[in-house]
Structures are given as structure tokens and as C-alpha cells.
Amino acid sequence: MDHDSSFSAGTADISSGHDDALAGVTIIVCASCRNETGSDAHPRAGELLAEDTRRAASG
């Protein structure tokens, strides 16, 4: 997973097939966020959320 990757709301609109449903929406996810235990285990909760967010935005 590329931790520095991102896409604009316009890209999300195109990927999801919606013309204006996501216009102006930006989701920021901390890819280094840890779970409630503070563990250094990988993948971290933030990494999983970021990947799921990308997957959901792309349809």
C-alpha cells in the first residue's frame, strides 16, 4: 500500500460513477493511527481505514 497516495474528490466522483454526489467532499485518514491498545503492530487501524476508504470511493 502506498501511504502517500491520495486522490481528489473529482477522482472519487469519476470512479464512483456519480457526477456531483461527492463534489467538494474530502476525507482525511491518518494512516499511522493505532488501535486502542497503542500497539505497533501492522497493518495499523489507520492503514486499514485508509485502504477501505480508497476502495469504497472507487466503487
Query: What is the domain extent for residue 30?
Result: 9-57
pLDDT reported for residue 57 = 83
pTM, rounded to two decimals:
0.44
The reply to whether 49 falls in a domain is yes
pLDDT reported for residue 50 = 82
Nearest one of 21, 35, 4, 3 to 56, comparing CA atoms? 21
The reply to whether 32 falls in a domain is yes
- Rounded CA-CA distance 33/57 in Å is 20
What is the tally of structural domains in the chain? Answer: 1
Q: Is 57 left (phi over 0), alpha (psi -120 to 50) or beta?
A: alpha
Place of cell 474530502: 26
pLDDT reported for residue 8 = 52
Tens-digit pLDDT profile for residues 1-57: 444 555 554 554 445 555 566 566 677 777 677 778 888 888 888 888 888 888 888
pLDDT reported for residue 1 = 43
